[in-house]
A and B are shown apart, each in its own frame.
With several copies, the nearest count.
Chain A
Amino acid sequence: MLNKIVNSLATAVADVRDGATILVGGFGGAGVPEGLITALLRQGTKDLTLIHNNAGRDETSIAPLIKHDRVAKLICTFPEAKTAYIFRDKFLAGKIKLELVPQGTLAERIRAGGSGIEGFYTPTGVGTEVAEGKDRREINGVMCILEYGLRADFAFVRARLGDRWGNLVYNQASRNFNPMMAMAGKIAIAEVDDVVELGGLNPEHVVTPGIFVQRVVKTENLNG
């Protein structure tokens, strides 16, 4: 029987090792797997590379991992924000590396990684500092740069409902990066509001087919 349900957040992240690369879903405060992040903080892993749209949001999202020096490198699109003061201090102190990626390019690189597409040519970033050192090619009269697919050891995603085969549906704008990240994580772990019985999700409405998800865990309030 194919059963991807895991009993606790702590169990779900127990095998994340030092130096792991982790895709973390969410955009601002919506769709961030806060429970998995908290469980990982308690688990103690360090030297992580995180891939996430933002650089933390006050004391939530990925900020606690950055605050406790667990993150060696961050790949993100929007590091400069009032709410990302923890990242800013660590960055200026030289304690964390940053790779800055345009948002659409980040989404596409992750999708490509999960799809076995090794690289693609995009017009986004041409003529900007993002293009520095990258291969250029003109196709159909459009100048493009070459970007590479992005995969990770783990993906932490946040969904509304999941079943034991790993099928997921999301909650409105909290969908954001989560479906692509599930595709590109070798082990994709979905933190869900609720687990439903197999057949509880309409086959027409499933957003992430279970094939992309390795573990499903019901959210818990670890700070309560």
Chain B
Amino acid sequence: MANTPRTPLKREQIARRIAQDFADGAIVNLGIGMPTLAANYIPAGREILFHSENGLLGFGPAPEKGKEDPNLVNAGKEFVTMLPGGCFFHQADSFSMTRGKHVDVAVLGGMQVNPRGDLANWKIKGAELGSIGGAMDIARGAKQVFVAMTHTTNKGEPKIVNELTYPITALKCVTRIYTDIAVIDVGPNGLVLREVAPGYSAADVQAVTEPKLTYEKEPAVIAI
């Protein structure tokens, strides 16, 4: 392993890794951006129901070119199709699903996460505007919240921090973090490093992570 060059995961690889953690039959809400890609990598033999907060459950992939229907879009305003068994509902019912803890997994983008699982992902620090959309309800309401993000900012600053400095989305919500170099659980006693990208050591990940990571042994390499 000392000979493997450090190889951070690409966006598609992070998405593929996340999809491995969707249990068969899970109801999953995917946020805009990298989370949406996870739909492309569902492991064979698993049936996943996708929920979209604008009022869809059980939607499928994008339609063929020329068959797009402006009345059939997901929360990211992308054209989708419906699978057999899918259904429509209004937004109050849709958020009864998220707020009421009926959605098994939400995958959200992240700007910052802290060791208590607090999440910031809706507004850049100091920005005049930001868009909450469904983020606060979904982060607070899903049974498990997975965050998908690069491990550091463009400037190399940690996004996994001791205290959030960006506007908060929800407290104590994140259960697992997937980055380009690690998979980290948010446990009752803080962050537990589970897996690392090829060529990375636990120490490498710790070096770009502000809070202390714990791990029982040298963590596994992410299977991609």
Contact = CB atoms under 8 A, between A and B. Distances in A.
Q: Taking the complex as a whole, does A directly touch B, i.e. does some CB pair lie under 8 Å apart? A: yes
Interface of A: 1-3, 27-31, 77-81, 88, 91-92, 98, 100-105, 107-108, 110-111, 113-117, 122-130, 163-165, 167, 170-180, 183, 197-199, 201, 203-204, 206-207, 209-212
A211 B70 contact: no
Contact of A123 (B58, B82, B140): B140
B27 A127 contact: no
A167 B88 CA distance: 11
B100 A116 contact: yes
B95 interface: yes
Contact of A176 (B25, B91, B141): B91
Given A199-B84, A210-B49, 7 more contacts: A79-B129, A80-B130, A104-B53, A111-B92, A116-B99, A178-B90, A211-B102
Band of interface residues on B: 35 or more
A6 to B, nearest CB: 15
B132 A108 contact: no
Contacts of A171: 71
Contacts of A206: 87-89
B54 A30 contact: yes
Contacts of B87: 167, 201, 203-204, 206, 209-210
A102 B134 contact: yes
A31 B55 CA distance: 12
B52 to A, nearest CB: 8
27 contacts: A1-B47, A2-B47, A27-B91, A29-B77, A30-B73, A80-B131, A91-B129, A92-B128, A100-B130, A103-B95, A104-B95, A116-B98, A124-B140, A163-B85, A170-B88, A175-B90, A176-B91, A180-B91, A198-B84, A199-B84, A199-B85, A201-B85, A203-B58, A210-B87, A211-B51, A211-B57, A211-B102
Interface in B34-93: 47, 49, 51-58, 69-75, 77, 82, 84-93
A107 B96 CA distance: 10
B132 A102 contact: yes
A115 B97 CA distance: 6
A179 B96 CA distance: 12
A91 B82 CA distance: 37
Contacts of A210: 49, 57-58, 85, 87
A210 B141 CA distance: 18
Nearest to A200: B84
B55 A176 contact: yes
